[in-house]
Copies of this chain bind each other. A is one copy, B any other.
Amino acid sequence: MIQITPFLDSKRKTPLYVQLYQYIKEGIESGQLKSDTFLPSIRELALHLRVSKNTVEGAYQQLIAEGYVESIPRVGLKILELEATFLCDKGGKQLQNVTMGEIQREHKSIEFDFVYGEIDTAHLPLKVWKRHVQEVLKGASEELLMYGDPFGDWHLRQELSHYLLQSRGVSCRPEQVVITAGTQHAVSLLCQLLSLHGSTVAFEDPGYNGVRSVFINQGCRIAPIPIEADGLSLSRLHESHANIVYVTPSHQLPCGMILPVHKRSLLLEWAYEHEGYIVEDDYDSEFRYQGQPIPALKALDQNEKVIYLGTFSKSFLPSIRVSYMVLPGELVPLYQQKLANYNQAASQLIQRALYTFIKDGDFQRHIRRMKKVYQSKHHTLLKSVKTYLGDRVTVIGEKSGLHVLLNVPGREDHELIEKAMACGVKVYSTKTFWYNPKNQCSSFIMLGFGKLSEEAIKKGIRRLQQAWF
């Protein structure tokens, strides 16, 4: 039984029953009152709205007369389905929104989708993860029902500080760790914390547009810093007059190179000289396939000038929406002063399940397994590119992460994408990553391989050969 709560104004000249009729009619037309559901009984609605039964009856009679509802004896008034053409669009404007269903329809003819940002779901330890969620649900203590610590679950922050030291060389106390609802949420909090509106933020170009948008929406000026063969151009950074820089040193997004050690030292020196901050987004550092593990830039930071951002979106599950940042010690009191009455934004249930997931070693086991899975996919991708595309393309950023770039000299991305699409393969432009579209290397194609099987990777790349050459 649906409930109806219109605003009825007895001072208006329109009689109450007409106001009620109009209100219900509008609800049916807009689809908010669903067909095949029943209106409340006259008695119930009159009681609920504190109006006379006559008022409700009058409205109902009118609705029956106009065919919006049908009286089913001994049951009530059923809302009838309207002809689609009869539906009016409130405000006359067609609102656009791409739903899941539409996205899927669009992809129907695509056999191999080299999308970036999706992960391998076949090897996810979903059973184990569900067990952790269920355990937390089972034990649900009162503390788990409330808002919780504004910085995030204390146990999770402790586990993260252990994890960060062990896997990323980052030395920090749990007090410095803040749990956020995704990396963009973290960056938005940082903009507020450091009052960045009107400031210049040096930003990799090309770089991660998702974070760049946050800085722009928060009123920052972007100083685009070109990416050289070995990463961020430090000379251009020095020229930028920015005193904050956003970087992805473990795996430049989208180019994929790892910032070499000498540039890391120079970058830190820049921050110390300028009293500036480095925002290090370590988004898929867990997956590195060649050479010795490289600790985070934060691990080298002696003067507490690196703000470290980590996420579970790549390493575990995009949908859990939990990321974290490590604040330099000096920013913790400022955070408490400015932002500590912000409620924690990540679900307590999920935070606590993540805590036991890490504590019991299940997360680490998952990472080890996925590293092998992705390494093998990565190997297959590079091998297939070599076999099928050969010298006609160059691979960029091939040492780590869940994507690579192809450079196809003399060709344009839109043409390559269309030709691939015609053969059932979806590949991607790097266009959105460039701040200045003029600088764009339009011969770059982005291939994400996280969610594709090795078989699909191989077939997809062979299909690209047919499509392109």
- Cα of A304 to Cα of B93 in the assembled complex, Å: 13
Given A5-B168, A162-B32, residue A175 in contact with residue B97 (CB < 8 A): yes
Which residues of B are found within 8 Å of A333, using beta-carbon distances?
96
Which residues of B are found within 8 Å of A304, using beta-carbon distances?
91
A142 at interface by CB-CB < 8 Å: yes
- Cα of A172 to Cα of B97 in the assembled complex, Å: 14
State the Cβ distance, A428 to closest chain B Cβ, in Å: 14
A72 at interface by CB-CB < 8 Å: no
Given A134-B134, A219-B195, A319-B349, residue A173 in contact with residue B95 (CB < 8 A): yes
The stretch of A272-280, A288-296, A389-397 in contact with B is A288-296
Q: Which of A361-384 contact B (CB under 8 A)?
A: 364
Which residues of B are found within 8 Å of A217, using beta-carbon distances?
192-193, 195, 338-339
Given A6-B295, A95-B329, A100-B143, residue A171 in contact with residue B319 (CB < 8 A): no
Q: Which of A195-226 contact B (CB under 8 A)?
A: 195, 197, 209-210, 213-214, 217-219
A347 at interface by CB-CB < 8 Å: yes
Partner of A343, one of B100, B321, B345: B321
State the Cβ distance, A251 to closest chain B Cβ, in Å: 16
A126 at interface by CB-CB < 8 Å: yes
A214→B342 contact, CB < 8 A? yes
Partner of A319, one of B34, B96, B148, B261: B148
B121→A171 contact, CB < 8 A? no
The stretch of A182-190, A236-244, A400-408 in contact with B is A182-190
- Cα of A425 to Cα of B192 in the assembled complex, Å: 37
- Cα of A151 to Cα of B332 in the assembled complex, Å: 31
- Cα of A3 to Cα of B333 in the assembled complex, Å: 31
Which residues of B are found within 8 Å of A313, using beta-carbon distances?
147, 343
A110 at interface by CB-CB < 8 Å: no
A436 at interface by CB-CB < 8 Å: no
A6→B299 contact, CB < 8 A? yes
Partner of A91, one of B34, B329, B349: B329
Partner of A350, one of B144, B317, B347: B347
A346 at interface by CB-CB < 8 Å: yes
Selected A-B contacts with CB under 8 Å, 25 pairs: A9-B261, A32-B172, A90-B173, A91-B329, A91-B330, A95-B173, A95-B176, A97-B174, A121-B142, A121-B145, A130-B140, A146-B319, A147-B313, A147-B319, A181-B181, A181-B185, A184-B345, A188-B192, A192-B218, A197-B197, A210-B342, A210-B343, A219-B219, A320-B348, A321-B345
Supply 14 further A-B pairs (C-beta < 8 A) apart from A97-B151, A99-B154, A321-B347.
A3-B167, A5-B169, A33-B162, A49-B292, A50-B291, A95-B175, A96-B332, A130-B138, A147-B318, A148-B319, A184-B345, A195-B217, A319-B349, A346-B347
